[in-house]
Amino acid sequence: MVLPVIIIGVAVLKVVLPASIAVVFSSRRDMKKMRDDLEKMHDDLKKMQDCLKKQYAWNQGIPPEIRPTREQREKAEPMLEDPSKSFYHFAVAGHAGTGKSSLVNAFRGYKDKDKGAAKVGINETTMDIKRYPDRSSIFKNFVWYDIPGANRLWLFIFDFIIVCWKDRIMEIDIQTLTSCEKMEVPIPTFLVRTNSQTHIHCLKLSEEITKEEAKEKLIKETSETVKKTLQACNYNDPNKKAYIIDRFILGKVVSDLTEKFRSKKDIITDDDIREMAENVEGAIDEGDLLIDLLRTAKERRR
């Protein structure tokens, strides 16, 4: 009587035990996977929360017409994520669709489709302030900020501001320049007109002139219009330079320079930039803009 019980018991154990061990192990594996998934989800949510917090903080900025106090500036500085203050922070501002994101990509030598490039396009309105560290050979220690069209808040925390426009320069563009100059430490500004090739093409067709004549006309008209607008807004320097560029030409100059001067030890001179820009067909002020940005950056941190 005892033996069959033992035999049945052993048989049961032989089947049940491995099965239960397998269940325990597989449920442990499942538990571990579940825990890993939850941890990952937690990390993702934390990142999202940090991002939202930062965006919220950006959106609580101070209009550029108001001069921020030193305390306000100090409070805002951590947004630049540069505790050692070793970077140059460049903001690109301007109306919607004027080519801000394209300009950021061109300065960094990125094509629109490159991973990490700013989103560009007629339907790709940039909604949030975004931070883009540079990787080109020219702009070492530069961080670019793509500032959405309507958002001119927080401009005071950047080291330099580029105001870009495409067709018509507006009063608010000049107001931005004036505000930057009224800061306790004035912020250097650059006026940049984008889309040169499109303007030249349109002028050539509408006026029935050659490409070269269209280019000269664009340069002349831009300079006159800018001067008139600066004067109308009582800006203190009516002869402020307006750089006329095209994103594709600027991008090519930066990429060619980055290709040629790959080594970190290479020093790129103004003449190198000038020569490179002269070799790109259609270039107008792309070389001068790069040279002046670098010179201003060096002077500011001297």
Binding site for Mg ion (CB under 5 A): 101, 126
Angle, CA of 49, 52 and 53, to the nearest 5°: 85
Q: Which tokens in the block code for residue 292?
A: 């002046």
Inter-CA distances, 89 with 146, 217, 273, 282, Å? 11, 34, 21, 29
Distance in Å, CB of 101 to Mg ion, minimum: 3
CB atoms within 10 A of CB 241: 15
Nearer to ligand GTP, 221 or 271 (CB): 221
Q: Hey, which residues between 132 and 161 contact ligand GTP (CB under 6 A)? A: 149
Distance in Å, CB of 118 to ligand GTP, minimum: 7
Binds 230, which of ligand GTP, Mg ion, none (CB < 5 to 8 A, cut-off by type)? Answer: none
Q: Are strands 189-193 and 242-244 parallel, antiparallel or unpaired?
A: parallel
The DSSP secondary structure of 152-211, one letter per residue, reads -TTGGGSSEEEEEESS---HHHHHHHHHHHTSSSPPPEEEEE--HHHHHHHHHHHHT--H
Interface with ligand GTP, residue 288, by CB under 6 A: no
Interface with ligand GTP, residue 26, by CB under 6 A: no
Q: Which tokens in the block code for residue 205?
A: 């067709």
Nearer to ligand GTP, 13 or 127 (CB): 127
Interface with ligand GTP, residue 282, by CB under 6 A: no
Instruction: Name residue, tokens 């950006």.
Output: 58
Nearer to Mg ion, 101 or 229 (CB): 101
List the one residue from 64, 102, 107, 162 that touches ligand GTP (CB under 6 A): 102
Quick one: which H or E segment has residue 133? strand 130-133
Distance in Å, CB of 58 to Mg ion, minimum: 15
Interface with ligand GTP, residue 3, by CB under 6 A: no
List the one residue from 134, 246, 286, 288 that touches ligand GTP (CB under 6 A): 246
Interface with ligand GTP, residue 98, by CB under 6 A: yes
Nearer to ligand GTP, 126 or 136 (CB): 126
CA 22 to chain centre: 54
Which residues would be at the binding site for ligand GTP (CB under 6 A)? Answer: 96-102, 120-122, 124-126, 149, 194-195, 197-198, 246-247
